[in-house]
A and B are shown apart, each in its own frame.
Chain A
C-alpha cells in the first residue's frame, strides 16, 4: 500500500534522527511512500491560535495534495497527526466552511473532496501492517528491556477527533508495539500528559518541571528508555533533560528518549548509526548495548 508521506518540520529540523530512522524502518518493512513535498507546516496549533482558518487552509491544502496522489497521508509526528485530524474533522462537519477554503485553494487548482485519511505510522503498524508481519522483520527479542510509553497530547486528545470510537486499540497502540518487540511497557502516569514543549519558550520553568516529572518517574520505575511517537515531545524530553535533572534531589535522570522507529529499528537489529542514535542529548549508549545483548528473535 502506498502512502503520501508527511514527515513534518521537526523531523527534518531539530530531530533529524527521526527522519533517518523512520526511513530505515519503513524501507525494511517495504512501506511504499512518496513525500508531499509541496505541503506546508501543519501550524502545530500555534498558527491556529492566531487564525484557525489559516491553519485549516494549509492543512486542507495538504489533504487535497494527497487526494490528488490518491493515497492516505502517513505522519511520524503526534502533533502533525492531531492538528490534521482536528482540521479534517472541522471541515467535514461544515460543508460551507470547506467550500470557503476550497475557494482559496482553487487558485492553484486544488480542491479537497473530503476523502483523505490521515494515519500516524504508529497506527499504520498496528492496524494495517499488523503485529505479526511486523515481528517477521525483527531479528532481536528485546526481553529484559523496559520501555516507558509517552504518546504526546495530540495523538490522544481530543479522543473523538482521533477515531478512538472506531479504533479503540489506538488508546494502547504504543504499549502494543513495545510488547511486540518483547520488551515490557512501563506503566507511567505521565504517558498521556504534556511534555511541556508548547510552553517551553514562554514558561520554561513549568516545561522543565513536566520533563522532570515524567522522565524522572519513568526512570524510578525502572525504564531503560522512554519511547515517543512525537518529535516535539522528544525535543523537550531529550534536549531539556539535563536542565530538568537539576529539579530532582539526586540531580540525575539519564533516561534516553527513543523515537518510535528507533525502538523498532533496534528490534530489527539495525546499527545505532543507521537510526541516528548518536544524535541524542541524553546518551543512548546503555540502552543500545542492552538491546544488542538481547537474544535473537524466535521465528
Chain B
C-alpha cells in the first residue's frame, strides 16, 4: 500500500525544490516522475535566473515592475511582489546548495543582462544554468534521502467528493498500475510543448498535469498565452538561449540590419520575448528573412568569450547545424517554448480542489501574465516549489487519511486494457504531429479568429478519432507506446483549452496577438481567462487581475 502525506508529481526544479522543503520539514513526502529526476526538462534551461539583490544596489520593485510590464500587465501584482521579494534569498540558498554560479572579481555572484530588464540581475552558470541548478537540487534530494518513484507514470488523479486523495500510476518497469494515496498532491509536471510542433520542449513535455487538473475541475488560466521564443533552430526547434543577446548578440535581417531598432528602440534585442518574436515574424513575412529565418550574430563577442560564457550554445550550433558561432551568424526563428498559462493557483500553490497544489511552469499564479521574462521561470520554480510544499504540508497536517475506492483502480486498468486490446488502427504519433502543426499554424506568433477557429476545429476532429488510437506494444515492460497514447489524451485537452482561451480573449495582450484585434483593451480585458472543462468542450469565465502598486500603461520597449 503506497501512501504519503505529500506526493509531488514531477522531479524538475519545482518538484525537487518542493521535495527538499518537505524533507527539511520532516514531512512524509515522495516524488513521482516518469523519468529519472536528472532527465527532467528543467535541465534545458540555459541562460540564467533573475533576482534583485537589495544589498547590492538593486531593488525588488525594479524587478517586479520589469516582470509586470513584461507580462503586459496581466500578472497578478501581489504574486509578483512575493516572487521579487523572495528571489534574493532563493539565489543564496541555491548557492549554498552548491550551484556553481559565475562570480565577479570580488568573488561574489556575477550577473548578466537578460530580456526586458535594463539592470543585469540574471545569475548564471555558462549556458547550462538549468542543468546546474537541477543537479544541485537533486544532490540535495540524495543527501536528504528523498523518496523517489523513479520511472512511474501518473495517468490519473484520485478525486473523491471533489477532494484530491492521491494518484494512480503505472510503474513503467513492470507495467503494474498502483494507487498512491496522499493527503496532498503537488502537480509540478512542467509545460506541454509537445502540443505544438515544432517546439523547444523535450519529448516528455506532454502536459498531462494540466490535463489531469483540468479534468478534476480546476480551471486552466490564460492558456492562450503561449511563448514563442525568438531564437530557436529551424526544423528541430532546439533552443538557443536569450543569454546570447544578453551578452550582446545582434538580430539581423536579410539587409544585415539590426531591425529591432524599429520595433523596440530602447531595449533593442532585449525587448520582451513576445515583442522580439513578433518583430522577427514581421521581418520574415515582409520578405526580409533569410530562407524564412533571421540571423543571430555572435561573431563580435569573440571565440574565447563564446566558449567560456556560452559554451553550450557553441556546442548546439556546431553539432546540430554545423555552424561555428565565432565565424558565422546562425539562422533562427520564433519557436514555441513555454506556456504562461496553466493550472490556476493562489500564491501558495493551492488550486480550487482541496488537496491539489501546483507549482512551476504547470501552474499559473500568475507571475508571468501575458509574457514571461527570460530567467523568471527558474525563479518561479524554486520560489513557488518551496511555497507549495509548505502549504501542502500544512494542509496534510490536518487532513484525514483517506482509504480510496479500489473500483477507481479497476476503471483505470480498463482504460489501459482498452488501448492494449484495440487492433491496429490510428497511431498516436501521427495524431500528435497533426495536432502540433495545426496549433502552431492556428495559435502562432500572430493569430486571428479564422486561424483560431481552424485550429479548434482540427483539434475537435482529432479528439473525435482519438478512440481509434491503438498501440503496437501489448507488453508490460517499458511500454512507451501505451504511455504515448495516454499522453495524447491529455494533450488534446490542453490543445482544446488553448484554443478556447485564444478565442475568448478579444484583444491583443502579451503573447496573444490577434491581427483582427491588434490593440490592448484594458477596459474590458484586464482579466484572466479561465477555461473549465465542460462535457466534451469547455466554458470560459474570467477573473480580475490583482493590481497593487503598478497602474497598467502602454508597454513600450
Classify A-B as touching or not with yes or no (CB < 8 A): no
